[in-house]
Structure 1
Amino acid sequence: MRRTLRAPGRRTAATLTLALAMTATVQQPSRAAPDPRPRTLAEVRAELDDLYHDAEVATDKYNAADEKVTAQQKRVRTLHARIGAAETKLGRLTRLAGAAARAQYRGDSLPAEMQFALADNPEHALDNASLARQAQQATQGVLTALTATREKLGTQNEEATATLKSLRESRKAKDTERRSVEKHIAAAEEVESRLEKEQVEQLAALEKKEADDAQAKWVETGVLDKVGTTATPAGRKAIAFATRQLGKPYVWGAEGPDSFDCSGLTSQAWLAAGRVIPRTSEEQWRRLRHVPVDSMRPGDLVIYFADASHVAIYIGDGRIIQAPRPGRWVYVSPVASMEILGVVRPDA
């Protein structure tokens, strides 16, 4: 998601100046009540920013739910495998307990099957007189193991049931976020579909100007003179991966190989560098080490907006590689073209 740096609820002076210089206007969508005052492109831009931002927030939630669903599915498979193994053991112990009980009732020694099961060296089990003399104790041991296995199986069944219930809830949450993403993107696409070709070009020019202005102000602070210029070996690998993705389309929820969303790109870039990091931008901000903006170095991740809804990888010289929003592609842009929340370092 790509939004320009601006104070909440206000447009920059440059935006207003450019907007006033434009004579082209955009009519309100037919689904809305008629607006007697035509909207400027700056207002359309602000609406698109909000819609795509909301879509990216929902995308992050979708990715988090999807990650949880994947983890729970793996846990369900593991639990089912353990339950199967416990059921097999339960059946074997039940047969051994029955055989031991029948042997004791007849006054015989332990059955050969049980001697093989209990002897340290099965090859000499039939010659192990001590096992035969300890038939009663061995039988009790089997019964104890049988009881423990039954209890363990019951616990695992309860865990599997609870996990399956949680999995269904996560799938519902995932579907809810999917619908939210699609709704916001559809609304943004409707707004964009009503623009004339000339207006689209003017909108792109407005976006570029705001990004350049924001970057210029950031550079004027002198921060670019302080940031690091050398990436670690892992950082270089992450940047190399991100560079190879340039030109690929943004698709929400995607993490390659043919398309990416913002955190899909950064998480896969660092995976290619040998580091597993959280899938979503919110979790990357929450769990990775924070570093001051003026101490960032190539390979670090720049987190954007107060809700940590967007992320990009810093490649040096005041630039980032990012997967911006639907309808766009992975590209290089100024690091300060959006509202910077902070910087995190995957290889701290």
Structure 2
Amino acid sequence: MPVARNVRSWQRSAAVCSALLAVGALSLPAAQSAAARPYEPPPAQPATTPPAVPPAALGSLPTPGTTAGPESLPQLLTQLQTLYQQSEAATESYNQAKVTADQQRAKARSLDGQLAEARAKVAAGKDQVGLLARQLYRTGGLSPYMAMLGGESPQDFFGTLHLAQHTVETQQAAVDSLTAEEDRLAGLNAQAQKALDAAQTAQNTQAAKKTEIETNLRQVEALLAGLSGVQISELEALEEQGADKAQQEFMHSTPLGGDAAVRAPSAKGDAAIAYAFAQLGKPYVWGAVGPGSFDCSGLTSQAWAHAGVPIPRTAEEQWAKLPRVPLSLLRPGDLVIYFPKATHVALYIGNGLVVQAPHTGSYVKISQIGANPVLGAVRPDMGAQPLAHYEPRKVPATRAPATAKAGKGTRTPEAKAPAAHKK
């Protein structure tokens, strides 16, 4: 008999070792090693310099230090307007890239917190599985078949069977929980990597668009360098003539409705107009959202934000995500979107006029709605009722800052807000 009992003891030990090996294998799924690797962002790609304006387009224009003749001013104006539009399109792309990069970095930071929590749960799960394995070893756990061979009565067999089943269920639940947490950890890690990759891509786009903007602005400065003050005044007069003609054609072909001159904004639309009026005279600076300077969508997004209605940052996103309205129903406070790719935006104030930050070298001003090609209009507060009793705000007189013509974009004194009006 002693020999038989020693054999049974040896069999129990062998069963315990087999169980420990099985638990150890289950507690280390293959996904764990991939999930635990820290993320390393890909190397930044060098920003590519966009193609400059073709030399042929600049061949007949004045070079720095020379004087432009009257016959070249229309061509010079066309070239300047092309550069301004290209710069503004690049600015809006830069702004959107910045928004995307900021959003993706914020998402990655949020995922970092979830990753830390998931790692803690995985560590706790491994501890639990290890504890069960050690308890199994200490108690001499064995399979029900080994227990049946070594038991002395049916009661021993069924009691041992019940305990074994309970132990297996507990072990399996612990291993299943650990596996699920490790899968979650791997998924979160992949999401964090994707967010950081997107942020890096957007950051590269920012750098490329910054280069494009600066290249265009250097060409603007070069084109203006050879002009005298008289010629710049003539150029501005020529631009105003073109804007007047475009406005006449727009108003003739696109009626704004019979009551366009007296149509009322909503309360928040009126607040957006008040904010825009307070910015008149401040310089255009690409990428700026105030308070000392603005670009086109920086002005409109801030005007509506101060009215209590957050809207997208860029003209393209404002066009894509805000409710559209027909021009025949345009009311003060609506946003007018320009150019085929929605690269410019202005705030409508009524009677065929808008407040806008036009382009580099200019400033926040009142302009005619049709001065640029209109794409359409959007309403940030669709469904809001117009004011029942509305008297249009008096448009404040605005003087161009001294630095605007030079295109330096320096800070100027803030314009005073218009006086309160009756409603």
Into which bin does the TM-score normalised by the smaller protein fall? 0.7 to 0.9
Give the C-alpha shift of residue 152 in structure 1: 1.3
Please name the residue that 2:112 is paired with.
80
Task: With the length of structure 1 as denominator, give the TM-score of the two structures.
Answer: 0.78
- TM-aligned CA distance change 1:38 to 1:295, over 3 Å: closer
Q: Does 1:168 align with 2:217?
A: no
Higher helix share: 1
The 8 Å contact of residues 333 and 348 in structure 2, kept in 1 or not, is answered as yes
How do 1:287-298 and structure 2 match up within 5 A?
287-298=321-332
Deviation track 1:167-226 (CA, whole Å, cap 9, x = no partner) reads 222211211111111111111121112210111111122222322333344445653634
Deviation at 1:294, TM superposition (A): 1.7
The count of aligned residue pairs is: 300
Distance 2:372 2:61 in 1: 27
1:275-290 correspondence to structure 2 within 5 Å = 275-290=309-324
- Change beyond 3 A, Cα 1:270–1:44: same
- Corresponding residue for residue 114 of structure 1: none
Taking the aligned partners of 1:167 and 1:213, their CA distance within structure 2 comes to 44
TM-score (norm 2): 0.65
Residues 1:163 and 1:248: Cα distance change in structure 2 (over 3 Å): same
Q: Is the 8 A contact 1:322 1:333 kept in 2?
A: yes
- Gaps spanning 5+ residues in structure 1: where? 1-25, 109-132
- Kindly tell me: are residues 200 and 35 of structure 1, through their superposed partners in 2, closer, same or farther at Cα, counting changes over 3 Å? closer
| Alignment partner, residue 194 of structure 1 | 226
Give, in whole Å, the separation in 1 of the partners of 2:227 and 2:69. Answer: 17
| 2:347 match: secondary structure | strand
**Does the residue aligned with 2:377 lie in a helix, a strand or coil?**
strand
Larger Rg: 2
**How far is 1:49 from its partner?**
0.3
Q: CA deviation at 1:63?
A: 1.3
Q: 1:254 aligns with which of 288, 292, 313?
A: 288
Q: Deviations over 1:2-36 (max 9, x none)?
A: xxxxxxxxxxxxxxxxxxxxxxxx962169xx999
- Which residue of 159, 164, 183 corresponds with 2:215? 183
Partner of 2:364: 330
* One-letter amino acid of the structure 2 residue matched with residue 137 of structure 1: E
Decide whether the 8 Å contact of 2:64 with 2:223 is kept in 1.
Answer: no
Q: 1:267 to 1:37 in 2, by over 3 A?
A: closer
After superposing on structure 2, the runs of 4+ consecutive aligned residues of structure 1 that deviate more than 6 Å are: 34-38
- Which residue does 1:301 correspond to in 2? 335
**Equivalent AA in structure 2 for residue 273 of structure 1:** A
Q: Report the equivalent of 2:130.
A: 98
Report the more deviating stretch, 72-81 or 268-277. Answer: 268-277
Contact 1:62 1:178 in 2 (8 A): yes
- What secondary structure is seen at the aligned counterpart in 1 of 2:281? coil
Alignment of 1:1-348 (within 5 A): 28-29=62-63, 39-107=71-139, 136-219=168-251, 223=256, 225-227=258-260, 229-348=263-382
How far apart, in 2, do the equivalents of 1:35 and 1:315 lie?
A: 39
CA RMSD of aligned residues (A): 2.8
| C-alpha separation in 1, matches of 2:221 and 2:135 | 79
Sort the Cα spacing of 1:243 and 1:35 in 2 relative to 1 into closer, same or farther, 3 A: closer
How far the C-alpha of 1:293 sits from its partner, in A, is 1.1
State whether residues 28 and 38 of structure 1, in contact with CA within 8 Å, keep that contact through their aligned partners in structure 2. Answer: no
Q: What secondary structure is seen at the aligned counterpart in 1 of 2:366?
A: strand
Tell whether the 8 Å contact from 2:295 to 2:357 is kept in structure 1 after alignment: yes
Match for 2:305: what amino acid?
L
Q: How many Å separate the matches in 1 of 2:309 and 2:171?
A: 52
What are the superposed Cα offsets for residues 135-191 of structure 1, whole Å, 9 maximum, x if unpaired?
553333222111111111112222222332232222112111111111111111211
Q: Is the 8 A contact 2:349 2:355 kept in 1?
A: yes
Shift of the alpha carbon at 1:243?
1.8
Q: Give structure 2 stretches of 5+ with no counterpart.
A: 1-59, 141-164, 383-423
AA partner of residue 302 (structure 1) = V
1:57 Cα shift?
1.0
Q: Secondary structure at the match of 2:98?
A: helix
